[in-house]
Amino acid sequence: MGVRSKHAAVGAAVHGGTDAALQCKQGHVLAFAAPVREIPMPQLAQRMRRAKPSAIMLIAEKAKALQAAGRDIISFSIGVPNFLPGPHVYEAAARALQHDSGQYGSNRGSNALLDAFLAHLAQAGMSGYTRENLSTGVGAKHILYNLAEALLEEGDEIAFPTPYWTSYLDIAEIVGAKVKLLPCPPAQGYKLTPQQLDAALTPATRVFMFNNPSNPTGMVYTRAEIAALAEVLARKPDTWIITDDIYHRMVFDGLGYHNFVQFQPQLRERLVFVDSLSKTYGMPGWRVGFMAGPKAVASAVTTLNSNHITNIPEITTAAAIAALSGPQDVTVRQVEDFAHRRDRVHAALVAIPGISCPRPQGAFYAFPDVSAFFGKRCGDTVIGDDVAFCAALLDSKGVACVPGSAFGEPRALRISYTCPAAQLQPGLERIAAFCAELR
Ligand SMILES: Cc1ncc(COP(=O)(O)O)c(C=O)c1O
């Protein structure tokens, strides 16, 4: 504390108390007035200078505010599923309430939850793990944060493809890691090539972060592509691999899900698979995430849990077990629906002159390249970049999308197509009308 106090910021205002508050005629407190004196205040930790609020949430909040002000808004911005879990999940939670132990639980996750996740892993073709290879967290984001703490020293290098999910960059920056971006432009179908990976990973690369299917692009790597990347990874023994594959059940066109360890089993020694209930089971608010990987990593994540969350709550655990082990029909139906929506969204986007969009094959996102419109005008406003494009689209047509720069690809924007079904077509038509009006 002593060192920080020496560099303490001056600026905290100490107020004289409620008697110093100014009150208007109706009695509402307007502001605090004198006496105010400035006192030294300890500073926030350096890492908080690197921490930023999520860009996606900022857009979603703006869309909500416009809606609250009476505007007709269609939101393609936030990446949440549009469905709730099946009734068996709620029944399991209700039953658990009847038998609540009221106690702390396991830092790793209850045995029943770990066993349910092992069965779920096996269904994804990821067998051969035991409870000791697993840990749990408050969503995949928490697991990823724990992994960054467990695997990265300050200044260590983490490499990942662009476009990336926003939190990879934010988390890396909070822990002080050095980020190496591997650009995967639209012309490359937003996918990483083995040659790129080979050139990028050096003995100094501590972590390679991979996401399949991808948020924000919806792209899915084929079996052959994963095999080719795995062959490169097998030759990079100094690098941990994290596969954030929380959308692995949301794959279309019979493409299937594939992981590097299925082609290079020795990668198990340094690969961590991350999963979550949020998207697959329509449970983002329940906050349950998982990891499967080397025992040392699972233990490290469990130790971190013991120092912050302690455990996944008992009621949530019961719901999570039911989601993983119960009927999967809700998920299956939703994935079929998303595949149909993908067809409509993709067809509508590529029909717009100037837009190109690699065809997504999973998750519920499309990531059209709109850079052909940069430099055009919407009324008096020049559309200089993706942020200006999204702002003008929201202002003039009431459609909220996330600028691609939030994902490291400023030529594009992200469309999340989980809006209410009746809004999908009008939303797409508004985007087409907007593009047609740009001059
Ligand atoms: C690729 C990816 N990883 C992780 C997460 C975080 O998921 P969770 O809700 O389990 O924290 C998201 C959420 O949008 C995501 O898209």
Are 169 and 301 contained in the same domain?
yes
Exposure string of 251-288, with b = 16+ CB inside 10 Å and e = fewer, is bbeeeebbbbbbbbeebbebbbbbbbbbbbbbbbebbb
Question: Using a 6 Å cutoff on CB, does residue 371 contact ligand 1?
Answer: no
Are 309 and 188 contained in the same domain?
yes
Alpha-carbon distance of 222 to 310, in angstroms, equals: 38
The more confidently predicted of residues 154 and 32 is: 154
Question: Using a 6 Å cutoff on CB, does residue 281 contact ligand 1?
Answer: no
Q: Is 158 part of a structural domain of the chain?
A: yes
Are 201 and 170 contained in the same domain?
yes
Q: For residues 31 and 60, is the Cβ–Cβ distance under 8 A? A: no
**Of the candidate ranges 60-64, 129-133, 415-419, the one whose mean pLDDT is the lowest:** 60-64
Which of these, 99, 59, 84, 57, lies nearest to 315 by C-alpha position?
99
Are 28 and 108 contained in the same domain?
no
Q: Is the dihedral of CA 321, 322, 325, 329 positive or negative?
A: negative
Assess whether pLDDT exceeds 60 at residue 17.
no
Number of domains present in the structure of the chain = 3
**What is the percent of the chain where pLDDT is above 90?**
84
Alpha-carbon distance of 140 to 165, in angstroms, equals: 12
- 140 CA distance to ligand 1 middle (Å): 6
Are 214 and 108 contained in the same domain?
yes
The contacts found for 113-121 with CB under 8 angstroms, 24 or more apart, are 113/312, 113/317, 113/320, 113/321, 116/320, 116/321, 116/324, 116/325, 117/275, 117/290, 117/292, 117/324, 119/324, 119/325, 120/275, 120/324, 120/325, 121/273, 121/275, 121/292
Q: For residues 393 and 74, is the Cβ–Cβ distance under 8 A? A: no
Are 267 and 353 contained in the same domain?
no
CATH classification at residue 401: 3.90.1150.10
pTM of the model: 0.90
Of ligand 1's atoms, which has the minimum distance to the CA of residue 289? Answer: 10
Q: What is the pLDDT of residue 76?
A: 94
Alpha-carbon distance of 417 to 431, in angstroms, equals: 13
Of ligand 1's atoms, which has the minimum distance to the CA of residue 144? Answer: 4
Angle at 403 between CA 401 and CA 407, to 5 degrees: 120
Assess whether pLDDT exceeds 80 at residue 58.
no
Are 315 and 336 contained in the same domain?
no
Are 113 and 224 contained in the same domain?
yes
Are 244 and 370 contained in the same domain?
no
Which of these, 313, 240, 328, 234, lies nearest to 281 by C-alpha position?
328
Are 226 and 136 contained in the same domain?
yes
Q: What is the pLDDT of residue 169?
A: 95
Alpha-carbon distance of 26 to 256, in angstroms, equals: 64
Question: Using a 6 Å cutoff on CB, does residue 136 contact ligand 1?
Answer: no
Q: What is the pLDDT of residue 47?
A: 83
Q: What is the extent of the structural domain holding 14?
A: 2-40
Q: What is the CA radius of gyration of the chain?
A: 24
What H or E segment, with its residue span, contains residue 250? Answer: none
Q: Is 320 part of a structural domain of the chain?
A: yes
For the stretch 299-322, pLDDT in tens is: 999 999 999 999 999 999 999 999
- 372 CA distance to ligand 1 middle (Å): 30
Are 280 and 141 contained in the same domain?
yes
Are 342 and 283 contained in the same domain?
no
Span 225-235, mean pLDDT?
Answer: 98
Question: Using a 6 Å cutoff on CB, does residue 278 contact ligand 1?
Answer: yes
CATH classification at residue 138: 3.40.640.10
Assess whether pLDDT exceeds 50 at residue 29.
no
Beta strands 178-183; 157-162: pairing state: parallel
